[in-house]
Structures are given as C-alpha cells and as structure tokens.
Structure 1
Amino acid sequence: MSLQTSWLARCLVVAWMAAPACVMAQQDPRWAEKMFEVDKLDFGVVATGAECKTQLKITNRYVETIQITGVATGCRCAQASTTVKDLASGQTGIIDVSMDTRNFSRKRDSVVTISVYEPSKGALATVRIPVSVYIRTDVVVEPGSVNFGTVDLGQSRELKLSVAYAGRPDWKILQVQNRNPNIEAVAKEIGRGGQRVDYELLVTLKPTASAGVIRETLTLVTDDANNPHVPIPVFAQVESDLTVTPSAINFGTVTAGQVKTQTVVIRAKKPISIEGFNQGKGDKALTVQMPSDARPVHLLPLKFTAPADAGDYQNDIQVIIEGRKEPITLRIQAKIVVPATPAEAPAAEASDAK
C-alpha cells in the first residue's frame, strides 16, 4: 500500500468515526432542548422561608436511550438533583429543583444545567434552564409550606403556620384564595404593634379528600398595592386504609362453562373482618370463599364460571368490610366464547342393492 493510499484510508476511518457524533446535531441542533416541557422556571414573588420546589420533567422523544450525565446549578441559591441516569425511549425522568429562600433574599437568578448523552451516535448536548425567584424580606412564613404528609383516607388533619409582616402598621390579609374544596384555610390576626403584624394561618385537610397526591397553592391576598399576593404551597399524600390487588380482574378469553380462579389480596393497616360479598349481576358466575376471622391480610380465591352466553362479560362485585361505610368494588371482565357445534353429516342415501 502506497503512502498516499495509507493516508487516504486513515482519513476515511477518522471521518467515519466522527460522523455519528454529529448526525443528531446536524438534523436538529435543539434535539436535547425538545425533551424538556419548559424552557424556564419562575417561582414569582414569595415570602422569606417559603418552600420553593418544583419538578422539571425530561422525556426521551427518540428511539435511542438517552443518558443524563450531569445536573448542576449556577449559584448556591438554587439546588437541582435527579436519580435518573438512563432514559429509555418514551420514558420521563424527574429533576428536582428548589430555591433557598431562608439564606437569600430579593431577586435571585440561576441556571439549571443538564448534560445529556446519546451513546450510539456519540451525541453530547447541554441544556440550560433559567430559574428565578423574588424573595420578599417584609413577609416571613413559618414553616414555608403546608405539608400534611401521609394522611389516611377519610381522616382530617390541621396545620398552623405563622405569617409575620414588617413594614406598614396597617398591613392586612384580606382573604385566602383556595381552589381545592377539600382544603380549608383561615387567616387570623394575632398581633399588631409598631411596624410588625402577625397572623396565624390555620389550614385543614378535610376527610372528603380522595386517595392520591394533593399539590396545591394557597394565596394570601393582602392590601399591598405593589405585591398583593403571597403564595404558600400545600402537599398531602392521602392513602386508603385498604389496598386491593388487583382492583380489576380480567379472566381473558374463556369458554362457556369453563372455570377460572384468581386470588384477590386485601391488605389493611389493622385486622379487618369481611362480612359479605355482593354481585352486581344475578348470573351467579362468581363465587368466593369467605374468611371467618379478622386479619390484616385476606386472600380471597375468586372462582369464575363462564356463563353460557358468548360475548364480553363485565360485572362489578362488592366486598363488604365490617365497620366500613363504603364496600370495596372489584371490576370483573372476561370474553366468553362458545365452541362451534360440529356440523351433522348428511344422512346416507338408502341403497337399492338387494
């Protein structure tokens, strides 16, 4: 091989190795930015001590797995972190972002920097999300959020916050704006003197709250013409005292008359007794062996005998728990098929043979 040929071959190899790293960038220089649902974060105007936390979502819109190789912020007033390292195609990851409103004040601006990498093409990118907040020095909220934590379904919980204002002696909270009917909030003035005004904020989570996560924001509406609103985050995790696995049962395709069994697991925080079992339909397709004692975990073998009628089967059954107002509802589904009847053979013609 001549020197010129060898040099050309080396150049082709180098060009071939470098090309994949540029493919995604050449197709769309903003490929990494498009994985984020927002391009900036602004907490607005908040009180000193207010909890400023949010979740930045990143969704892999591409076929290849994307790696998050680094998360950082531009100043000590902001924090960002994630436990996600690899994002498969279509997967969404969470980056937790917060601002320190206790040790910093007034206008604070930072940047959350996220580094991502696509290994198969060697594509590297850095996304910068600006984050800002204005921290008031005249209003202090303690604690900085209404965090009810974990609450049992049907239970009520109350929390008290203190709101202190330093400035105008006639400053007032006019109302508390609240969009969630399962939350009640009342601001009560408890002190006024000199340039300081103190309020107590009583927040109640009502027993009507449904199971699940509650994320809301209460807004204190004041008579401050320049900054009338003071936002206060609210969080709660409402958990049922019972968990049912599975809550919906699909027996799949079954032949008429066929019997299938699935076990339903009912877990409670304390021993419970099962009083009864009601079917929504009167076909008696479902039977269950009822336990006779109280226990925190019940295993209910549910036997399904497929009815004679072909088609989609659906039924809601209720498991009645002692001392519980609302029964547990289980949805049953199946597809009933009826085997085809073999065609009868034509009658043999009479023979004329003697």
Structure 2
Amino acid sequence: MTTIPAEASAPPAPSPESRPDPERPKKRRFPWAPLALLTPALIMLVVFIGWPLVQLVIMSFQEFGRAQIFGAPPEFIGIDNYVAVLTDPEFWAVLGRSVALCVVSVIATMLLGVAIAVMMTKLGTVMRTAVSVSLLLAWAMPALTATIVWGWIFDTQYGLVNYVLTQITGENWIGHSWLIDPTSFYAVAAIIITWGAIPFVAFSTYAALSQVPDEVLEAASLDGAGGLARFRLIVFPYLRSILLVLLVLQVIWDLRVFAQIYALQSIGGVRAETNTIGVYIYSVSMASGDLGAGGAISVILVVILLAISGYWIRTMLKEEQ
C-alpha cells in the first residue's frame, strides 16, 4: 500500500496577491433592484406632486390674476406677493385661528384615540368587533357628508342638540344657532374634525398595543404596578414612535382642513369670522381671483408644515439612536 506524503495531499497555499486585504474597502454595488421597484412611485410623486409644487412656487412670484387665467402673460413681481401676505393682518388672524383649532383637535383626537385603543384591548370579541365596525363607519364617511349630518344635529330649529338641551335644562334652546358665534362655530368644527380622525389613531394605536409583550405586563402587575404606571413605564415606550408619527400626521391634516369648515360656513357660519387657512387660500385664489397671492399663502403653509414635520422626525430619529 502506497502512502501519500502530507506535503502532496495539502492544498496549495494562496498567493499573497489572491489573499483578501482586510484594510482594502470592499466595493459596494449600487442597489439597482430597490431603485427599480421605487421608480414607478417616484414618477407618480414627481408628476402629481413635484411638478404642481414647482408651478405653485413659480406662480407665487408672479402677478397671476383673472387676466392671466384667460391667457394674458404673467408678470414677474419678485416677493411682492409674500410682502403683501405677511403684512396683511387678516392673514395672521386666520393663521392664529387655524393653529388654535389644530391644537384643540389634535389633542382631543390623540387622547380619545389612544383611550379607545386601550379600551379595545380589554373588550371581548363581540364588543371589540362592534367598536371596530363603528369606527370603520365613521372613518369611511366622507368629510363633506359627515359635516352635513353634524349640521343637522346642531340645526337651529330641528337639531338633536337643541332638543336634548331643552329637555335637560328646562330652558328653551330651540332657535339657538351654534354657527353664528365664531367660538361655538369652532367648537362644532373641532367636534366634527375629531370625530372623523379618531378611527385612524385608534386602529393604529391598537395595532401597536398588540406588540407589547404580555409577559412584561404580567410581571409588572405582580410587582404591584397599577394600570397608569404600567402604561407610562412599559406600554408608552412601545407606542412612542407610532404616536409621534400619528401626531405629525394629525397636525398636517388638521392645520390644512378645508371641507368641514367650508361646509359649515355654507350651512350658517359667518365666513369672514370663521376662515381657516385652507378656506382662506381658496377665497383669495378663487373668489378674489388673485392666484399669485394664493400661491404665496400656500407656499408659506407648506414651509410651516415642513418645519413641523422636520422637527418631529429629527426628534424621533434621535430617540431611536
């Protein structure tokens, strides 16, 4: 029997040129596959959002009125539209009312949405299904339809609210208008906006609550932690990121609200005293025919929303790091 020397059976040693250099950085390939998958969505964003936004910015630096709508060439006037808007007291009054309505609506929406989501985790299957269907019906109803229904509820002569208040208090509330006074007008608007926004917050929070480990909650309960303590110390850290995203979305949506305010004004509100920034842009652009000033207000609103979103997103990224 012939024996093979150990030197002959061993594989050849790699040459120095073929050995990988640990100090040499590896050449990374460009991720073409993700880019190819994102391309259709990027094209849609550029066509339907990017290009109109560019046109809006250009229009805000032009004198673009009724004459330009019918074909006259627009005239470049620089920042005159921005100066006129920023020096107009009505703009600041409308912006202040919009911010106040946004703050009230967002706080109410977040608190009630989270409370309903927590309640759904404690309900049985039948009741949870009933609550989910109710939320879906409220969420599926268009904003204009919901506003008309709520307008009937607060109707001056035949509204349910005036009838119930008359029966409870013994005073005659029939004939009381909730939309003439700006304060009660915005109270009704906040109810409608909050009612339509709660389902999104509730469903999103309920989905996040399902990711909280039951073992951790049981251990905290055995250690004597109460319900509020468990929510604050255990549940809330799991919900922080999703709640931050929901907060940013609600601020964006409520600050530029249009349909609910415009419909309530058509039902009985005083337009000059109840305009929000969305309706104000429409009034300046369409009713007055000054598309240049309307474009300037829109750009200012976009800048405000980008600043708010950028701040909260940066805060969220810092917390994750």
Q: Do they fold alike, i.e. is TM over 0.5?
A: no
Rg comparison, structure with higher value: 1
Q: Which has the higher contact order (CA 8 A, sep 6+)?
A: 2
TM-score (norm 2): 0.19
Higher strand share: 1
TM-score, normalising length: structure 1: 0.18
